[in-house]
Structure formats: structure tokens, C-alpha cells
Amino acid sequence: MKYQVLQVSSYRTNCSLLWCTQTHRAALIDPGGDAELLLDAIEEKGLTLERVLLTHGHIDHVGVARVLAQRLGVPVEGPHRDDQFLLDMLPEEARTYGFPMVEAFMPERYLEQGDRIQVGRLTLEVLHTPGHTPGHLVFHNPEADIAFVGDLIFAGSVGRTDFEGGNQGDLIHSITQLLWPLGEQTELVPGHGPNSTIARERRLNPYVADSRLQSQ
């Protein structure tokens, strides 16, 4: 597997373009904006996009998902159905946060804990990780030890829980009970900012480091 992180929208969201090196089949995770930039990256690498994947329903992660899906004839998959209320609110979010207009939509497929997604010969395992939003997902490739974690956790921080549907207790549970078991060697590709690893975050993250949680 190879991947490239492309920053999109005024929120500098990390959109991940990942592909199978054997088949050149690809997926986009969280295309929050800049459709032409993403299309150029796909074409430049000679890839065939198979699907668009969404970790959650916030506009800076889904802004051009439907546009790309329609132009390339591929499905949108994810988030979990519990984030449909956010997808229904996209026109309002666009007005509130100054994004180009985005119509409400339903994905072709909601994703659940334990689902598996094929990208060429690659397999992504789906984790349902509520907290930042109720329907937040993580996409994990065990062979490469990489997890695309959206806004669940960042290098040195965690996702906000003060938006509608957010829950701090759920966020901590998702990180410690669903993400940590992937193993300390796992590389984390977040929705904003630089990559990290589970080992680094368990040691240094001021919100979820082992030392902090054990002292509570």
C-alpha cells in the first residue's frame, strides 16, 4: 500500500489518497474540498478510484465527496449511520462556516464496526469510534500498520467533543479500547496535522497518555 496526504479546504483537512501498488486501484478518505486538486493527484499517479470513504460527517471532511463520486462513478461509503444527521445539515454548515454550498446526501453504504473494505488487493478494517461525532470511523490496514483516524486523535491532542453529538467519555473509550489495541507500532494518519504513532500518543499525548489516565 502507498498513500499521499493532500491538504484541502480552508481548514487544512488531511485528505488521504491510498492505493494498491499491485492493481493501482485507489480510495480517497475525507475529501473535504479542492476537487480539482484531488482529481489531478489521481490522474498524475495513473490510479483508478474505486470509492470515497468518510470518517465522519463534518463539512471539512465531506465537502466534495458527492461531487467526486458523481464525476468518477464511484460510491461514497461511510460514515456510520449515526452521522447521517450531520450529512443532512451540510447546507447549513456551508453557510455557517463559509464553504461552497454542499447539498445534503446519503452515502451508498453506511459502515459498521467490523466491516472490511477492499481497495484493489488491500483490505481496510472499519472501527466505529464515536466521541468526536456519534458515527465517527477509523480505517485500519493491518498489513501496513496504518490507521486513518479522522478527528478522533491528533499528534498531541484529541478531537473536539463540544460539537453536536460529541461525547468526551465516548471519545476516550474509543481511543483506549478500540484504537490502542491495534498496537503501539501503528502509524496514525489524522484528519489534521502531522502523523504520529500509538506509542507516541500513549507516552506524550496530554489528554490520553497512559500516565494521565492511570492517575485519574
pLDDT in tens, 40-52: 999 999 999 999 9
Amino acid (1-letter code) at residue 172: I
pLDDT tens by residue, 143-156? 999 999 999 999 99
> For the chain, what are the domain ranges?
2-214
pLDDT of res. 216? 67
**What are the b/e assignments for 84-100, b being 16+ CB within 10 Å?**
bebbebbeebbeeeebe
Contact yes or no for 148/189 (Cβ under 8 A) = yes
Quick one: pLDDT at residue 214?
83
- Give the residue ranges of DSSP H helices in 109-167: none
pLDDT digits (tens, 9 = 90+) for 103-141: 999 999 999 999 999 999 999 999 999 999 999 999 999
Which CATH number is 2-214 given?
3.60.15.10
User: What pTM was estimated for this model as a whole?
Assistant: 0.97
Mean pLDDT of all residues in the chain?
A: 97
**pLDDT for position 215:** 72
CA angle 14, 20, 23 (to 5 degrees): 140
